[in-house]
């Protein structure tokens, strides 16, 4: 089981049982929603400028970007 926390332009993926950081992800833009953590994926919504936002979906716990969806 994993959880995530944000700090500025970074997201830390944390092992919920041990409290250790598994990965740190850097992203562009400002988080407007999330992180939403599931068993296999984590998603955030970021605004990169006033008219462009993306949902970024990452694999858990590896933190690799699986999908980027413009909204």
Cβ proximity of 48 and 63 under 8 Å: no
Along the chain (71 residues), what's the average pLDDT of each consecutive run of 10 residues? 93 95 94 95 96 96 95 93
pLDDT for 31: 95
CATH number at residue 42: 2.40.10
**Count of domains observed in the chain:** 1
Beta-carbon neighbour count of residue 24 at 10 Å? 11
Structural domain for 36, as ranges: 2-70
pLDDT for 56: 97
User: Does the predicted TM-score (pTM) go above 0.85?
Assistant: yes
Q: Token pair 């929603």 is at which residue?
A: 33
pLDDT for 65: 96
Give the tokens for residue 63. Answer: 């933190």
């Amino acid at each position: 089981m994993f959880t995530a926390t944000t700090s500025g332009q970074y997201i830390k993926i944390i092992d919920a049982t041990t409290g250790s950081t598994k990965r740190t992800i850097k992203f562009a833009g400002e988080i407007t929603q999330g992180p939403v953590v599931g068993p296999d994926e984590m998603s955030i919504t970021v605004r990169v400028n006033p008219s462009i936002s993306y949902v970024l979906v990452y694999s858990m716990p590896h933190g690799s970007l699986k999908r980027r969806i413009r909204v």
